Amino acid sequence: MPTVFRIDGFKFFFYSNEGNPLEPVHIHILKAGAEAKFWLEPEIKLARNSGFDAKTLRQLTIMVTENAVQIKRVWYEYFP
């Protein structure tokens, strides 16, 4: 489970085996037992949420958007 980065206690990561065929680029975010998943392609969009409130999801959307280039780079390096 490669960790892309951590910000303010949030862990941004993806699982090394995410389905066959591989799912499109996305990121999982974990903090204090809550987890969300965001698609990055074709657009940044919440895929699912378990435990984060609406305000936190808005903050996470901003964090994912601001770091989308880095997330995609790590994804494509891991899944060539």
Which residue's entry shows tokens 């995609």? 72
- Residue 25's domain comprises 3-78
Report if pTM > 0.85.
yes
How far is Cα 5 from Cα 21, in angstroms, rounded to an integer? 25
Q: 50: which residues sit within 8 A by CB, 6+ positions away? A: 34, 35, 36
Place 52 in a pLDDT band, splitting at 50, 70 and 90: very high
The average pLDDT across 60-70 equals 98
How many domains are contained in the chain? 1
For 7-43, write each residue's pLDDT tens digit: 999 999 999 887 678 899 999 999 999 999 999 999 9
CA distance 80 to 78: 6
pLDDT at 16: 87
